Amino acid sequence: MTAAPKLELRGLRKDFGGFTAVDSIDLEIEAGDTVALLGPSGCGKSTTLNMIVGLEEPTSGDILVDGRSVVGVPPQDRNIGLVFQDYAVFTHMSVRKNLSFGLEIRRRPRAEIGRAVDEVAELVGLSEVLDESPRVLSSSQLQRVGIGRTLIMKPSLLLLDEPLSNLETELRTAMRQQLRQLQLEYGQTLIYVTHDQIEAISLANKIAVMSMGAIRQFDSADRTYGQPAHTFVASFLGSPPMNLMEGELRREGRALCFANGSAAIALPQEVLPHGVEEGRDLVLGIRPESLQVAAGEAAMLEARVTLVEPMGPEKIATLRIGNWELKGLFAAGTRLVEGEFLSLTAQATQICLFDGASGVRLNPLRPEEPAWA
Amino acid sequence: MTAAVESQEPTAVPTQRPAARRARRPRRLGLGRILTLPGQMVSVIVLVVPLSVAFYMSFTDWSPTRGSLLDAAFVGLENYWELLVYDTRFIEAVIRTLALTVVCLSLEFTLGLGLAVLFLRKFRGKSLLFSVLLTPMMVLPVVVGYTFWMLFQSNGPINQIIAFLFGADATPEWFREAPFAMTAVIVTEVWHWTPLFFLILLSGLNAVPDNLTRAAVILGAKPRQVFWRVIFPVLKPVIMVALVIRSMEVIKLFDEVFMLTRGGPGTATETISLYIYKLAFADFQLAYGAAAAFLVLVGTLFLVSLLLTPVSEQLIKSRR
């Protein structure tokens, strides 16, 4: 078995004419990691993927696999596998021929190919359909053909482009488990490229969130969700996403206050990072589920309930404070009346402050903590 | 034909509710059938009647100079027997036409594929070249024939170019010697119809999903292997359809040969259509010509089904 490598991107950049698709990104992926490249379409994640695989050459920067640069190395010599979103299965060949394609191209001995095909077919669960035409296979089987065809080459790095998005809902769960299992058994370093946050969170142990050609945060799923490093991450992850409010800091006596016009939120002292002065434009972020009903002294803000949407075990409330509109996620039993005012609070650790201009997080990231759920 | 349409599943007409459709079924002579009637009558008149008459004619010894077809003697399979066993001119024309088909299609396919592959890349003047390349196809065959007849004259432009390049002794008499006459026919035909191959193959190549070739490249295939192992098999149905269309056309080849050589010198470039034309309209052996035409029809049917066999699965049952 090939030792799983470390992938390193150093200042990787790709320009198409005047358009910068990927803007000097740095990324380090440890051996055996499962990483998701997450971002909306057009954020540069597919271009990054294509550069890693070798379908696209970077404008500048370097790609290192196991410490060696692969820039300029043709795709077939990089030992990197890619499973396409549409699987790209060769429909004119049997499943067996699909699996053996890479080895046959490389003129490996017949016996070796046969053995490898049987082994991989067993691994991805295609032994029963080896001699079938891909035309009769289901989409999850087609995907497994795509994965098996790549795994047979024993790639040191396996990339999957939107692996779950073409599957029906019930197959997604099954495929997710299979991919997990595959990773555990094979110790393969996996990189998923996806625009779906659920896909990213459920498949990967680390997530690189991309937007506008830049990586906004590369961290564990828990931390990217609970402690977003950028307003983009905060607004991209979560459903409903994090409440983001524009305003400025004001000091009223000993109390600290985040305000915009008439709207104000009393902030605990510990939220304020060092070196942030009064009057600076900021963005305050609180997750909808971090908001808790409070009374009297504990209350940080007073908001008017404008809409209540029951969602089974939970209720989503739309809240209004001045110009800000917030979403709050409450237990189904919480008393919420549209039109009434509600006193709310949130734990200091769950309040995020971002720079108003750049969107970068200002309060420092805390060390890894138990899951937010 | 209408019965087949009726029996289709109701989902074929999504705007109509199944119940309404089922309720109307007992009325045998529906509006739909009445509306298709004129079309069916036209097809009977222009297709079935002449074909039946010609088929009957092929079993007689009728000639327009000898009165009504109904009075003509019924000779059974005599015409067919004569054609297949004794008529060497017919058999030669068949072999010549088939050889012409093979040569023309090979050249047109190779050139068309080369041009199509070229057009997958970006280069200057591509859209202009595209229009220019398609022009020959739009010219009437008679005009193409006449144009090339002039080009191939012994003191025509082609010979002038040859004389300029290789000297005056190298210029052939294009229509006086059999191999040269055949070459002229092939050149004309290839010039005229390579664009069709180019067009069909280009659209076929563009329809091959990018990810298939990318996947093959990542798995280690060299450009040549990508083409022969991935693109070509996907393209195969398209290629076969192009070959079928063109082979039917070449078998029917008439206009250009008629304008260029009239089948000459002697019968050196006489195609099967030209021979049948001469039988029917020069010798007035209409019954004999009809028999020859039916033999060609059967042969073409056989050839087409032979060409389509390897791709019939891909063409017909590709999606479940």
Domains, chain B, ranges and CATH? 2-57 (no CATH), 89-316 (1.10.3720.10)
**pLDDT tens-place string over residues B22-54:** 455 555 667 888 888 888 889 888 888 888 888
Domain A240-355 = CATH 3.40.50.970: no
**Whole-number pLDDT of residue A248:** 86
Distance in angstroms (rounded) separating the CA atoms of residues B250 and B109? 13
B-chain CB neighbours of A105 within 8 Å are 216, 219-222, 225, 229
Q: Which residues in chain A are closer than 8 Å to B236, comparing Cβ atoms?
A: 92
Interface test with B, best of A56, A77, A85, A105 (most B CBs within 10 A): A105
In chain A, the percentage of residues whose pLDDT exceeds 90 is 9
**In this prediction, what percent of chain A has a pLDDT beyond 70?**
97
pLDDT at B111: 94
Tell me whether B217 touches chain A (CB under 8 Å): yes
Touching check for B122 and chain A: CB below 8 Å?
Answer: no
Q: Is the pLDDT of residue A296 over 60?
A: yes
pLDDT band, very low/low/confident/very high, at A267 (cuts 50, 70, 90)? confident
**What is the predicted pLDDT for the residue at B14?**
44
Predicted confidence band of residue B13 (pLDDT cuts 50, 70, 90): very low
Mean pLDDT of B59-83: 81
- pLDDT tens track for A57-87: 899 989 988 888 888 888 888 888 898 888 8
For residues A45-53, average pLDDT: 89
pLDDT over 70 (residue A355): yes
B208, B212, B218, B222, best to mutate vs chain A, most A CBs in 10 Å: B218
Distance from CA of B65 to the nearest CA of A (A): 59
Q: Which fold has domain A7-231?
A: Rossmann fold (3.40.50)
Closest approach of chain B CAs to the CA of A46, in angstroms?
13
Which residues of chain B does A86 touch, with a Cβ-Cβ cutoff of 8 Å? 209, 211
* Residue A6 clears pLDDT 80, i.e. is over it: no
For the cut 70, the answer to whether the pLDDT of residue A5 exceeds it is no
Nearest chain A Cα distance for residue B319, angstroms? 7
Q: Closest Cα of chain B to A95: distance in Å?
A: 14
Q: Is the dihedral of CA B106, B111, B117, B120 positive or negative?
A: negative
For residues B237, B243, B244, B250, the Cα torsion angle rounded to the nearest 10 degrees is 170
HEC profile for chain B? CHHHHHCCCHHHCCCCCHHHHHHHCCCCCCHHHHHHHHHHHHHHHHHHHHHHHHHHHCCECCCHHHCCHHHCCECCCHHHHHHHHHCHHHHHHHHHHHHHHHHHHHHHHHHHHHHHHHCCCCCCCHHHHHHHHHHHHHCCHHHHHHHHHHHCCCCCHHHHHHHHHHCHHHCCCCCCCHHHHHHHHHHHHHHHHHHHHHHHHHHHHHHCCHHHHHHHHHCCCCHHHHHHHHHHHHHHHHHHHHHHHHHHHHHCCCHHHHHHCCCCCCCCCCCHHHHHHHHHHCCCCHHHHHHHHHHHHHHHHHHHHHHHHHHHHHHHCCCC
With beta carbons less than 8 A apart as the criterion, state whether A126 and A100 touch: no
Closest Cα in chain A to B232:
A92
ipTM metric: 0.75
Which tens digit of pLDDT belongs to each residue from B111-161? 999 999 888 888 888 889 999 999 998 999 899 999 999 898 888 888 888
In this complex, is the C-beta atom of B233 within 8 Å of any C-beta atom belonging to chain A?
yes
* B233 contacts on A by Cβ (under 8 Å): 90, 92-93
CB proximity A75 to B under 8 Å: yes
Q: Which residue of A has its CA nearest to B236?
A: A92
Interchain proximity A92–B233, CB inside 8 Å: yes
- By C-alpha distance, which of B201, B192, B186 is closest to B134? B192
Contact (CB<8Å) A54/B209: no
User: Is the distance from CB of A205 to CB of A34 less than 8 angstroms?
Assistant: yes
Strand partners, A316: A309, A329
Contacts of A92 in chain B (CB under 8 A): 233-234, 236, 314
pLDDT of A282 > 70? The answer is yes
Looking at residue A132, what is its pLDDT?
A: 87
Most B CBs within 10 A among A55, A79, A90, A152, hence the mutation to make, goes to A90
User: Which tokens belong to B23?
Assistant: 């309720």
Cα–Cα–Cα angle for A272, A273, A274, nearest 5°?
A: 120
Work out the mean pLDDT of chain A and round it to a whole number.
85
Residue A227 has pLDDT above 60, yes or no: yes
For residue A337, what pLDDT is reported? Answer: 87
Q: Which of A53, A90, A91 is the closest to B218 by Cβ? A: A53
Separation in Å, CA of B312 to nearest CA in chain A: 13
Give me the pLDDT at residue B19, please: 47
Which pLDDT band holds residue A302 (cuts at 50, 70, 90)?
A: confident
Residue B247 reports pLDDT greater than 80: yes
A79 in contact with chain B, both atoms CB, cutoff 8 A: no
Q: What is the domain partition of chain A in residue ranges?
A: 7-231, 240-355
Out of B212, B217, B225, the one facing A90 most closely (by C-beta) is: B212
Structure confidence at residue B3 (pLDDT): 41
Q: Which of B209, B214, B222 sits opposite A55 (nearest CB)?
A: B214
**What distance in Å separates residue A241's CA from the closest CA in chain B?**
34
| pLDDT tens figures, A146-196 | 888 988 888 888 898 888 877 777 777 777 887 887 777 777 888 988 888
- Residues of chain B with Cβ-Cβ distance to A116 below 8 Å are none
For the residues B4-33, what does the mean pLDDT come to?
51
pLDDT tens digit string along A25-43? 888 888 888 899 998 888 8
Helices (H), A125-168: 139-151
**A51 has a chain B CB within 8 A of its CB:** no
For B186-212, what is each residue's pLDDT tens digit? 999 999 999 999 999 999 999 888 889
Average pLDDT over residues B261-265: 82
Q: What is the average pLDDT value for chain B, to the nearest integer?
A: 83
Task: Tell if the CB–CB gap between B236 and A106 is shorter than 8 Å.
Answer: no
Which pLDDT score is estimated for B26? 53
Q: Which residue of A has its CA nearest to B219?
A: A102
Whether A205 has a pLDDT exceeding 90, the answer reads no
CB contact under 8 A, A135 and B215: no
- Whether B95 has a pLDDT exceeding 70, the answer reads yes
Residue of A nearest to B211 (CA): A88
Q: Is residue A274 predicted with pLDDT exceeding 80? A: no
- B221 contacts A84? CB cut-off 8 A: no
Pick the residue with more confidence: B17 or A91?
A: A91
Supply the pLDDT for residue A166.
75
| Nearest of A254, A338, A262 to residue A301 by alpha carbon | A262
Q: What is the pLDDT of residue B317?
A: 62
Residue B211: count other Cβ atoms within 10 Å of its Cβ.
Answer: 18
Checking if the pLDDT of A126 tops 60, the result is yes
A7-231 with A240-355: one CATH topology? no
Nearest-neighbour CA in chain B from A173: distance (Å): 26
Mutate to test the interface with B, among A73, A91, A158 (most CBs of B within 10 A): A91
B84 touches chain A (CB under 8 A): no
The answer, for A323 touching chain B at a CB cutoff of 8 Å, is: no
**Closest Cα in chain A, distance from residue B290 (Å):** 43
Asked if A106 has any chain B CB less than 8 Å from its own CB, the reply is yes
Mutate to test the interface with B, among A82, A142, A158 (most CBs of B within 10 A): A82
Residues of chain A with Cβ-Cβ distance to B215 below 8 Å are 82, 84, 88, 90, 146, 149
